[in-house]
Structure 1
Amino acid sequence: MVAQVASLLAIYFVLWWVVLFMALPFGVRNRAETGETDGDVAGADPGAPVKTLMARKVLWTTLISATIFAAALYAYRSGWLGVERLSKLMGFPL
């Protein structure tokens, strides 16, 4: 039972990070795109983001990851998603 819970947490952890890395570029604007040229810091990259909106991205990442994880867990427990079926769909004999 402990191994099963640990496996589920590990799968969710990896899924969460994959979704976060996919969400990072959304909504990022640099100084040139926003028109903020005043107050430039010496040595700062002009392509550096003005606002990263990390709190919003973490929230969306958590919601999207939880939805994907719940759907995959439901499909697995219902028998729609299993090792045998996936190997058959991908053309690998078991």
Structure 2
Amino acid sequence: MRWTSLLAIYFLCWAFSVFLVLPFGVRTTHEVGGEFIPGQAESAPHEFNIKRVAIRVTIVATIVWAAFVLNYIYGWVTPAMLDFVNPSNSAG
């Protein structure tokens, strides 16, 4: 696989990992006991630390990307294994 393809796949893993990581560790202003700003949603996070989120996302994306690359190399899960319409064509 070309390095540009690996880079593009890593970028996609990183972008999707944002949605996996973002909800974890969020505390609302009500949970912290802080004061609400007029117009603020009750579900809004009290403090948003972009650096902490970026580090978490990078760790998760790297793990997902490494699993993808290893599966590509070793062929643990193939498209034939995921063919539920024609199960007779599956390998295994």
With normalisation by structure 2, the TM-score equals 0.73
Q: Deviations over 1:3-57 (max 9, x none)?
A: x2222111111111111111111111121121112xx433333432111232112
| CA distance 1:29–1:5, change in 2 (3 Å) | same
Q: 1:78 aligns with which of 61, 68, 74?
A: 74
Deviation of the 1:62 alpha carbon? 0.7
Q: Secondary structure in 2 aligned to 1:28?
A: coil
| Total equivalences in the alignment | 87
Aligned to 1:20: 18
With normalisation by structure 1, the TM-score equals 0.72
| CA distance 1:59–1:87, change in 2 (3 Å) | same
CA distance in 2, matches of 1:80, 1:46: 45
CA distance in 2, matches of 1:6, 1:71: 18
Q: Secondary structure in 2 aligned to 1:25?
A: coil
Tell me, which stretches of 5 or more residues in structure 1 are unaligned? Answer: none
